[in-house]
Each structure stands twice: as structure tokens, then as C-alpha cells.
């Protein structure tokens, strides 16, 4: 048996001049996207039974946090910081980190399997000292906010520490003057050595940026399949994760075309696996950049935001952070990225540099859900997307689709109803038309047909009776 090791001595909450010299940088309280109360996803707008269930689950989660926190404290675990990549301009930076419990020797940012990362225990309301390139921040505790806050120097509040929220997250804006480039941000809590993360300082005059999805766009996760996605997220060795074929070449080609363009990786994956995704991006030669992920802890106001809402909120934050920047949007159809990006293009006209023409019309499509056959999936998707009831169906063919690692199958059916209804979100517009009307729309440029390599184009050509030009 080995002798028990003495507990580490807690150091006083002071920073010596040798540790952090020079003049402090002001930082201020901002909205935290981890508890942003979107009007569409607030618990109080949900049906009563949904409200009851979500509030019960939130209370249960809070109880688990209390119990697990007491357990790890008895194991002599201490709060530590998981630092995340920050971004900003020469004038201000957005900094994100999370305080969690861990053994004294546990290193931050270490590559681990997803299931181990998901069992991370948050350390709420933990004081954190932050510095950029060795210059300390004057910080303020981040509370729960309701709306996105723009940078406003009049709202600066000085404090020695920044305190994480109830889930351990810390979201700050630091105002400063920094040279464009990559800087170091250090985070320190009591009894731990400082940990560092990159801070990408982007020139405010940069004209082009890239927002990219991660799951099945950069990294193969098979997100549409719940079981496969769970295995890839939780159990698969992070070093064995595969990139989507050719996407690193595409990203680097974009980087060559726009050398100053920052890359933002926007994903519905949880912050718990941030380290795994960041290592993957570096190992497979993708341009480095901030990761904007999702908190899976249930929240008092909004529970857990949907993937679509999460991506919309973060995309809008980037639009506000870089008002003069136009964005290239990259994603796949496994998590409704086309719908999300189309919404962004509508809300911010002229700000989307590369996206599909809004005149693109295609056929209804979707994924087969657990417990249903192909025919049922066709009828359900047609009903959900355009409000039409389908009767008899006929199989037309299939096509492998690499990005979500799926097989696409085509059917045509007999419509039992003719009234068209769209939600304006998942489907923007739908209409009946004859073959002559469709060809006239294409010739005049008011419509755009699906790409030549798509099964949707084959279906339209089969209906027309001839190939499209």
C-alpha cells in the first residue's frame, strides 16, 4: 500500500506582480448563450404537460449536481477550468470557459472518449482569474441574461474575479486593444495552475468569414441515426473518427481564396466534447477557429434548445459581432442546415456570400424515423412539409448520399389532397405547376432546378419525360 498523498495547499486569492504584470483589461457582464431565453423555446410557452415534465427534469438535474458535487468533494476533487477558443476584434474579445470538478492531476483539454467527457461534473459559481497575454482582466460575475448585448463601454464593471454560472459556464466580453492574430488567454482557479486557450483576434475590416457545421459536414457522426450518432459521440475512440471525404481540401481551398477569413465551427455537439472536436480539426488539416457548441444541461428558462434554434442564435451573434463581414455558410441536410441557413439569408440580406439561390425548388425529403417503413416516411414528410396527404406510392430508385452517410430512395405518389400548407421555416414555399409552367420558370430564371448529380433532379426529369438542360 502506498502512503496517502497530502492535499494540495490552497493558495490565497492574490496575484503577484510577477504573475500578472501591467494594467488590467476591463471586461463586463454579457448575455450568456447558455441560458438565452428565446421566445420560441421558453418553457412557459409550451403545453402544460411539457412544462411539468421539463421543470421536473430540471429539478432532478439540479439535485444530481448537488449530490455529485458533494461526492467528488469527498474524493478530494477540486474545481478546474476547461478553456474554450475565444474570438473577437482588435477592440474586444468574447471569452468562454467552463469550471468543472476533477482530480488534482487531471489536465484540462485532454483527449478522452465522449462518454467520459459527458460525465463531467460542473463546478458552479467558481471564481476565475483571466488574463490575455499575461495582462489580467477586470471581470464581473456573469448572470442569467435575456437578450444579446452589444459591446458598450459604459457598462463596464470592475471586479477581481469572474464567477461561473450555475452550470459552470463563463461567457465574457473583454474590451481592449489587441493586434490581429492569435493570442493566449489564461484561466486560473484556486489550487490549480493556469490553463490556456487560443484567442483569435480578427481585424474588424475583414470582409469574408466562414460558418461551418461539424456533424457530417466536417466529421462523420451519422447524426440522423440516433444509435449511430450516440455510438460515435460516446464510445468511439476520438482518434478513429473519420473526416467527411474531401472537405478538408475544400476548406483549405476557401482559406487560400480568402486568406484573412476566420472559420467558425457551429455544432449541436455538447461543450463536453469540445476538446475532441478541436483535436480532430487540427489532426485532419482543417483551418483552426473557434468552436460554438451547445450546452446539454437543462435550463430553468429554455430547457435544452433545439439544434436549429441553437445554430440560429449563434449565427445571429456572429452577425452582430462582425457587422461588416459577409459569410460563407457550409453544412449538410442531416440537421436541417439548409433551412437554418435560408433563414439567416432572409434575416440578413446581403450578408451571405455563398449560399444556394433562394429560387431553388426541389422535392420533399426527410429521414426515416425509428419504427416506420419507407412508405410511411414518405407520407409523413409530405404531410409535414407541404400539408398533402399521399395515397399510392411507387418506388423510383436510390442514390448513395455521402455527407450524412445515407442511402436516398425516391418515390412518387398520388395526392389525395391538393391544399398546400408550409410553415415558412422548414419549407419556405410550395406550389402546384404543370410541366410547361415549370419549364417556363426555369427558362426565365425565376426557379432553379436541383443539381445534376442529385436524385431530386432525376425525379423531376422522370416527371417531365425528358432531361433538363
Give yes or no: residues 350 and 449 share one domain.
no
CATH of the domain at 446: 3.90.79.10
List of residues 6+ apart from 183 with CB closer than 8 A: 132, 133, 198, 199, 201
- The Cβ of residue 45 has, within 10 Å, a number of other Cβ atoms equal to 11
Distance CA 172, CA 403 (A): 35
User: Angle formed by the axes of helices 455-464 and 435-444, to 10°?
Assistant: 120
Distance CA 267, CA 56 (A): 27
CATH of the domain at 90: 2.60.40.10
Q: Spell out the per-residue pLDDT of the chain, length 469, in tens.
A: 444 444 344 443 433 434 444 566 666 555 545 445 555 566 677 778 877 887 887 788 778 778 888 888 788 788 889 899 999 999 888 888 888 887 766 666 566 665 666 677 888 888 888 889 988 876 443 433 333 344 444 444 455 677 887 778 888 888 778 899 999 999 998 888 899 999 999 998 899 999 998 888 888 876 656 677 676 666 677 677 888 877 888 899 889 888 899 999 988 888 878 888 888 898 889 999 999 887 766 665 556 666 677 788 888 889 988 999 999 998 876 667 777 888 888 888 889 886 544 566 888 888 888 889 999 999 998 998 899 999 999 999 998 865 556 788 999 999 999 899 886 656 767 889 899 999 988 888 778 788 777 888 899 999 999 998 8
Give yes or no: residues 340 and 385 share one domain.
no
Give yes or no: residues 231 and 308 share one domain.
yes
Distance CA 378, CA 375 (A): 5
Whether 401 is covered by a domain: the verdict is yes
Whether 8 is covered by a domain: the verdict is no
List of residues 6+ apart from 57 with CB closer than 8 A: 298, 303
Give yes or no: residues 459 and 441 share one domain.
yes
Whether 6 is covered by a domain: the verdict is no
Q: Which of 359, 330, 361, 354 is nearest to 430 (CA)?
A: 361
CATH of the domain at 342: 3.40.50.1000
Whether 253 is covered by a domain: the verdict is yes
pTM of this structure: 0.65
Whether 359 is covered by a domain: the verdict is no
Give yes or no: residues 52 and 156 share one domain.
yes
Give yes or no: residues 268 and 161 share one domain.
no
Q: 139, 168, 201: which is the final residue of a domain?
A: 201
Whether 12 is covered by a domain: the verdict is no
Give yes or no: residues 197 and 87 share one domain.
yes
* Backbone phi, psi, residue 278, to 5°: -65, -40
Q: 178, 201, 224: which is the final residue of a domain?
A: 201
- Total residue count of the chain as it appears in this document: 469
Strand partners, 58: none
- Residue 43: predicted pLDDT: 66
Q: Cite the DSSP H helix spans in 322-444.
A: 337-347, 374-386, 435-444
Contact 100, 112 (CB under 8 A): no
Give yes or no: residues 384 and 420 share one domain.
yes
Q: Which of 10, 117, 33 is nearest to 299 (CA)?
A: 33
Q: 309, 326, 354: which is the final residue of a domain?
A: 354
Give yes or no: residues 332 and 253 share one domain.
yes
Residue 94, CB half-sphere, CA atoms under 13 Å: how many?
Answer: 21
Give yes or no: residues 312 and 224 share one domain.
yes
Contact 369, 345 (CB under 8 A): no
The C-alpha angle with vertex 30 and arms to 317 and 191, in degrees rounded to 5, equals 115
Number of domains observed in the structure of the chain: 3
Angstrom distances, CA of residue 91 to CA of 88, 106, 180: 8, 34, 10
Longest Cα–Cα distance in the chain: 86
Give yes or no: residues 74 and 190 share one domain.
yes
Provide the domain limits for residue 77: 25-201
Q: Cite the DSSP H helix spans in 40-160.
A: 48-74, 114-118
List of residues 6+ apart from 187 with CB closer than 8 A: 81, 83, 97, 128, 129, 130, 194, 195, 196, 197
Distance CA 260, CA 122 (A): 36
The C-alpha angle with vertex 327 and arms to 322 and 328, in degrees rounded to 5, equals 160
Give yes or no: residues 123 and 229 share one domain.
no
**Distance from CA of residue 115 to its chain's centroid?**
19
Amino acid at each position: 500500500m502506498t502512503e496517502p498523498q497530502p492535499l494540495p495547499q490552497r493558495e490565497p486569492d492574490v496575484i503577484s506582480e510577477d504573475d500578472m504584470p501591467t494594467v488590467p483589461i476591463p471586461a463586463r457582464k454579457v448575455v450568456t448563450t447558455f441560458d438565452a431565453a428565446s421566445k420560441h423555446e421558453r418553457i412557459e410557452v409550451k403545453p402544460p404537460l411539457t412544462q411539468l415534465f421539463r421543470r421536473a427534469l430540471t429539478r432532478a438535474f439540479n439535485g444530481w449536481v448537488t449530490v455529485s458535487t458533494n461526492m467528488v468533494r469527498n474524493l478530494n476533487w477540486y474545481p478546474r477550468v476547461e478553456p474554450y477558443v475565444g474570438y473577437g476584434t482588435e477592440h474586444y474579445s468574447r471569452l468562454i470557459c467552463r469550471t468543472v470538478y476533477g482530480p488534482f492531476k487531471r489536465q484540462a483539454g485532454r483527449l478522452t472518449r465522449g462518454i467520459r467527457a459527458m460525465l463531467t461534473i460542473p463546478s458552479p459559481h467558481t471564481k476565475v482569474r483571466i488574463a490575455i497575454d499575461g495582462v489580467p482582466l477586470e471581470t464581473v460575475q456573469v448572470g442569467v441574461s435575456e437578450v444579446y448585448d452589444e459591446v458598450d463601454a459604459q457598462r463596464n464593471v470592475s471586479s477581481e474575479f469572474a464567477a461561473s454560472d450555475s452550470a459552470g459556464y463563463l461567457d465574457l466580453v473583454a474590451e481592449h486593444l489587441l493586434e490581429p492574430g492569435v493570442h493566449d488567454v489564461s484561466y486560473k482557479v484556486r489550487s490549480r495552475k493556469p490553463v490556456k486557450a487560443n484567442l483569435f483576434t480578427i481585424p474588424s475590416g475583414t470582409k469574408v468569414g466562414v460558418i461551418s457545421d461539424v456533424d457530417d459536414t466536417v466529421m462523420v457522426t451519422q447524426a440522423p441515426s440516433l444509435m449511430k450518432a450516440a455510438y460515435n459521440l460516446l464510445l468511439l475512440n476520438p482518434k478513429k473518427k473519420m473526416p467527411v471525404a474531401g472537405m478538408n481540401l475544400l476548406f483549405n481551398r476557401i482559406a487560400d481564396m480568402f486568406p484573412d477569413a476566420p472559420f467558425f465551427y457551429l455544432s449541436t455537439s455538447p461543450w463536453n466534447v469540445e476538446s475532441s472536436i478541436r483535436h480532430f480539426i487540427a489532426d485532419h488539416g482543417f483551418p483552426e477557429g473557434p468552436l460554438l457548441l451547445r450546452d446539454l444541461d437543462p435550463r430553468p428558462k429554455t430547457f435544452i434548445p433545439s439544434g436549429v434554434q441553437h445554430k440560429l442564435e449563434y449565427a445571429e451573434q456572429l452577425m452582430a459581432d462582425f457587422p461588416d463581414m459577409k459569410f460563407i455558410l457550409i453544412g449538410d441536410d442531416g440537421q436541417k442546415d439548409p433551412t437554418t441557413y435560408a433563414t439567416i439569408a432572409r434575416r440578413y440580406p446581403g450578408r451571405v456570400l455563398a449560399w444556394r439561390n433562394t429560387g431553388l425548388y426541389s422535392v420533399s425529403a426527410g429521414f426515416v424515423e425509428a419504427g416506420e417503413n419507407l412508405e410511411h416516411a414518405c407520407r409523413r414528410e409530405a404531410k409535414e412539409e407541404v400539408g398533402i396527404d399521399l395515397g399510392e406510392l411507387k418506388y423510383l430508385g436510390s442514390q448513395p448520399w455521402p455527407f450524412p452517410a445515407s442511402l436516398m430512395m425516391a418515390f412518387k405518389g398520388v395526392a389525395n389532397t391538393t391544399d398546400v400548407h408550409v410553415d415558412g421555416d422548414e419549407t419556405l414555399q410550395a406550389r402546384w405547376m404543370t410541366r410547361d409552367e415549370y419549364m417556363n420558370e426555369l427558362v426565365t430564371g425565376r426557379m432553379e432546378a436541383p443539381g445534376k448529380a442529385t436524385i431530386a433532379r432525376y425525379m423531376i426529369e422522370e416527371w417531365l419525360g425528358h432531361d433538363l438542360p
